[in-house]
Structure 1
Amino acid sequence: MPHHPTKTSRTVVTLAATLLMCGLAASPCQAQAATASSDALEKEVQGLQERLRLMEEQLAELRHHRSQLSSELMSELQELNRITIKAEALEDARDAAGHKMLKASGYMDPSFVINRSQDRGGFQFLNRADTAAGGDGYNYDNSYFGTAVIDFQKETDSAVKWRLTLAPNRGVGSVFDASSPVHEASISVPLTDLQTRLIAGQIPDWSGYEYLQPTLNKLITHNLLFDFTLPAAYSGAGIDITRGKWSIKSVLANVNASKKNPHNHAPALAYRVDYSRGEFQGVGFAGVLGKASNGRANEVDPLNNGALLFPQDAGLDTQLHLFEVDGYFIRGDITLQGQFSIGGQQKAAITPGPNGELRDASWYGASVLGAYRLTPRLESTLRIDYLNNERNGGGLLGYYAADSRNGVGPGYGGDPNVGVNRSAVTLGTSFMLDLSTTLKAEYRVDYASQPVFYYIQDGIYRPKNDIFGVSLLVAF
């Protein structure tokens, strides 16, 4: 009986045939895929080889740069070591020479002044104050300007401060000690702390709102109180204390004298107290109490072979009392400053009493200053002064005789027992050429209550005088 395939058998045969046909058909596809895969792999290998080559080149370049940097770094280290050794040698040499923490500064201010009563106009620079050496003394038109100053300051490792300021012909030394070029010679030694110090030496006066040096003043000339009622300097020792907003200075010293004359023993007490009330304003006061030299007592009679006019008082210091209060307000473009002073000296008046004995001199006065900065470089200033000096024919600190140049003493043809009162108005401007150079100009008119200014040109006494000044201030 013939065999007939079942349904299952037919299905298996059909599947086998299909698989065989597919295998035969797939062989070219697999070959093509293998070929494509091989090409891609070869390209990838080539790319990797190229990247590896580039990396090797970069690595070689980096190694070369590292070698150069290493060489340069070594050279720089050697140079740095050489500079360090040289700097240390220079520091050792500086320290051995005493130049550590040594500061030098200074200024010059050649000035041009026109004085109507003196009938003169011209430059004044380093002119002598010592009358014995041909100078004309200290005058309001010839004070601490027209000078050249060099200032040395030194601080030791133990915080001791040392200062020497030289001002030939124009410093305080030339005013009270003839031809001395020393303006300041002082030391400051810390005691319990850096804010409590012993001070000693020759110290310029610290009274009033105006400073002595032109670098700290807005005008050329000084106010009447500065010129006629304040000491030039103190020679002595004392203490300097700073506590927060308070500053206190005090010395026992000779006033306007580097040493005491025979038969004189007592020093004077000079002091100053300041309080800084905030960032923009402050007040202070200063004074002197004690004995000081009295030029009036040492005057001679030229009509009597130079005999002393007051032999009983000659050579003796007399009691001096000075007190002043000052203040300031400085904010932005505005500056306001003011001062009131009162003082007197025993047996220092210009006119003796009816019995021929010396009488006491006394005075009081005020000064105010206002300044406004018009531009960062240009500033205008106005100052007004008043000084009352009527009693006993007048007489001021250091001015013991009638003075027709400065306007001190009785007026011409007036009562010899009545001294003149003085006032002055000064208008000035300053222009900063650069950070170290300032051009100043001022016009000043001085008034007196009586005719006391002697005009050389026509020989007439007048109650007014005016001056004009220009100065070029250069500081470093």
Structure 2
Amino acid sequence: MKQHTLALLTAALALAYGAPARAQSNEELLKELRALKDRVNQLEEKLKATEAKAAKSAEAQWGMTPEQVREFNRIAVKTEALEDAQEALGLKNLKITGFIDPTFIANKAQNTAGFQLLNKDAYAYDAGYFGMAVLDFQKEMDGGTRYKLTLAPDRGTGSVFNGGSIIHEASVNIPLGDLQTRLWLGQIPDWTGYEMTAPPLNKLITHNLLFDYTAPTAYTGAVADITRGKWMIKAGLANVNNSRKSAGNKTPALIYRVDYAKGEFQGFGFSGLHGKAYNYATDALDAAGGLRFADQAGKDTRVDMLELDAYFIRGDLTWQGQLSWGRQRQAAIFNEDGQLRDASWTGLSTLLAYKFIPRWEATGRLDYLRNHKNGGGLFGYSYDDSHNGIGRGNGFFWDDANPDPEAAGKGTNRYALTFGLSYLVNQNAIWKLEYRYDGASQPVFLNTKDGTFTKTNQLLGTSMVLSF
């Protein structure tokens, strides 16, 4: 405004004194200066009105005052800088979740009662995938590639089959052409049956008999992951319960799972495994303490497994069921003539749950496992096991110095009845209570108090699953 005023005054003076031929009196000059001043004032008022109109127009357009617009611009610049920094640090689309699952288990036959958390015990039905502390990292790239790393010290799949590794899952899922056709690589937890590995995804504390004794732990390999409408298909080649094949073992296994979501409330799936896996029967010792099958020790043998599961979930009601069949060559517990025999099994499991109050849910589960042939033998269990109730009963140990074909050739069928309650404390915490009754066709459970064997056992457990 000052610049415009000076310019006008300068022009006025130039007009007033620039032409000698037009000499003017002082009175005329004052009149011209007054007229010029009035014109400058008019121009100043017009400029102010234009600026006010522009401000009102901006406020009407953006719903903000000029000061608010400037503040918005500053925020936008800072946000862009934060996004750039997040991407540069690799944090874009990174999701971190986890949970902790302190658990209390009382086992009558084992004469134990106490809390379990990150315990280093071998896997068993009363020391399974509970008492965990898990940290999960998931990242998706702009092109759709997904990375997943799940850390589970002492109680993850890695601790079961890979020398105490803390890796529960380490995988990458790469799109091939489109997001519904993918290649899945790495260490992948088993997908058999209706029960999941992680406690937050299960209604009970313990797992069913089929999950514990007939299913693999994890796969290390490559899988095609295909989604077509309501169908989800996974199929590939992998090592079974093994991160690296040992010398002389070269054959991977064919693994697959197919799921179909029939409708909003129901669906079914089936899975299979056909290939070679470690045979624990070759670890059996003879009377002298040496390997009875030293010539076959360390050799994988053929495994075939088929499984069908289904579900119906609507409102407060949940039903899930599973049928399984399996066989491993030369992996039975009993070998009378010095020749390794085949282990085979069939089983079923069904679960029913109902939320009788929004936060309270009651659950019941029934399991049955038929395993009497050749002294018994399940996937990964080719020996008498008085803790888990597998084998020939009464702690029977057959060797060349104590042959008893009739007793040694008969395995044990198992069943389990489980009842549970759960309470949703809040969106991140679930409290569980469970009573489990295990039974067997022979006395296979060791009573550690007096060294006797019984056909039944009881377990009581409670846990608090806290997730974030």
Using structure 2 for the length normalisation, give the TM-score.
Answer: 0.84
- Distance in 1 of aligned mates of 2:343 and 2:443: 20
> 1:377 maps to what in 2?
359
Amino acid at match of 2:315: G
Amino acid at match of 1:431: Y
How far residue 154 of structure 1 moved from its aligned partner, in angstroms, is 0.7
Instruction: Note the 1:90-101 alignment, pairs <5 A.
Output: 90-101=82-93
> 1:167 maps to what in 2?
152
> 2:327 maps to what in 1?
344
2:344 equivalent among 362, 376, 391: 362
> 2:173 maps to what in 1?
188
Contact 1:219 1:440 in 2 (8 A): yes
Instruction: Note the 1:245-284 alignment, pairs <5 A.
Output: 245-284=230-269
> 1:219 maps to what in 2?
204
Amino acid at match of 2:81: A
1:314 equivalent among 297, 320, 323: 297
- Distance in 2 of aligned mates of 1:91 and 1:346: 57
Instruction: Answer yes or no: is 1:116 the counterpart of 2:108.
Output: yes
Instruction: Note the 1:451-466 alignment, pairs <5 A.
Output: 451-466=443-458
> 2:392 maps to what in 1?
410
How far residue 66 of structure 1 moved from its aligned partner, in angstroms, is 6.8
Amino acid at match of 1:214: P
Aligned length: 405
- Distance in 1 of aligned mates of 2:361 and 2:220: 36
Deviations 1:95-139 (A, max 9, x none): 0011111111111110000000110101000001xxxxxxx3110
Amino acid at match of 1:430: S
Instruction: Answer yes or no: is 1:236 the counterpart of 2:221.
Output: yes
* Unaligned stretches of 5+ residues in structure 2: 1-48, 397-405
> 1:143 maps to what in 2?
128
Amino acid at match of 1:437: A
1:103 equivalent among 81, 95, 113: 95
Give the share of equivalent positions with the same residue, in percent. 53
- Distance in 1 of aligned mates of 2:280 and 2:177: 41
Instruction: Note the 1:77-88 alignment, pairs <5 A.
Output: 77-88=69-80
Contact 1:384 1:424 in 2 (8 A): yes
- Distance in 1 of aligned mates of 2:105 and 2:283: 33
SS in 2 for 1:297: helix
- Distance in 2 of aligned mates of 1:364 and 1:312: 30
Amino acid at match of 1:155: E
Contact 2:159 2:165 in 1 (8 A): yes
Moved more, 164-173 or 405-414: 405-414
Contact 2:150 2:167 in 1 (8 A): yes
Contact 2:332 2:343 in 1 (8 A): yes
How far residue 465 of structure 1 moved from its aligned partner, in angstroms, is 0.3
- Distance in 2 of aligned mates of 1:338 and 1:346: 27
> 1:50 maps to what in 2?
none
Deviations 1:170-205 (A, max 9, x none): 000000012100000011111121101011100000
Contact 1:255 1:268 in 2 (8 A): yes
How far residue 81 of structure 1 moved from its aligned partner, in angstroms, is 1.5
SS in 2 for 1:374: strand
- Distance in 2 of aligned mates of 1:300 and 1:263: 22
- Distance in 2 of aligned mates of 1:198 and 1:109: 32
> 1:295 maps to what in 2?
280
Deviations 1:306-331 (A, max 9, x none): 53220121111000001100000000
- Distance in 1 of aligned mates of 2:136 and 2:425: 23
Structure number with larger C-alpha Rg? 1
Instruction: Answer yes or no: is 1:285 the counterpart of 2:270.
Output: yes
Contact 2:268 2:309 in 1 (8 A): yes
SS in 2 for 1:458: coil
Contact 1:298 1:313 in 2 (8 A): no
Deviations 1:396-449 (A, max 9, x none): 111111000100000116811111100000000100010111000000000000
Deviations 1:196-218 (A, max 9, x none): 10111000000101111111100
* Unaligned stretches of 5+ residues in structure 1: 1-58, 129-135
SS in 2 for 1:194: strand
- Distance in 2 of aligned mates of 1:458 and 1:82: 77
SS in 2 for 1:407: coil
> 1:386 maps to what in 2?
368
- Distance in 1 of aligned mates of 2:75 and 2:285: 70
Deviations 1:12-60 (A, max 9, x none): xxxxxxxxxxxxxxxxxxxxxxxxxxxxxxxxxxxxxxxxxxxxxxx9x
- Distance in 2 of aligned mates of 1:401 and 1:80: 71
- Distance in 1 of aligned mates of 2:222 and 2:447: 44
> 2:8 maps to what in 1?
none
- Distance in 1 of aligned mates of 2:437 and 2:172: 40
> 1:325 maps to what in 2?
308
Amino acid at match of 1:221: T
- Distance in 1 of aligned mates of 2:67 and 2:440: 78
How far residue 267 of structure 1 moved from its aligned partner, in angstroms, is 0.2
Deviations 1:342-397 (A, max 9, x none): 00101110111x32111110000000000000111100000000000000000111
How far residue 72 of structure 1 moved from its aligned partner, in angstroms, is 7.5
SS in 1 for 2:337: coil
How far residue 251 of structure 1 moved from its aligned partner, in angstroms, is 1.7
- Distance in 2 of aligned mates of 1:246 and 1:193: 16
- Distance in 2 of aligned mates of 1:297 and 1:394: 15
> 1:396 maps to what in 2?
378
Amino acid at match of 1:76: Q
> 1:49 maps to what in 2?
none
Amino acid at match of 1:208: G
How far residue 75 of structure 1 moved from its aligned partner, in angstroms, is 2.1
Contact 2:284 2:383 in 1 (8 A): no
> 1:436 maps to what in 2?
428
Amino acid at match of 2:295: Q
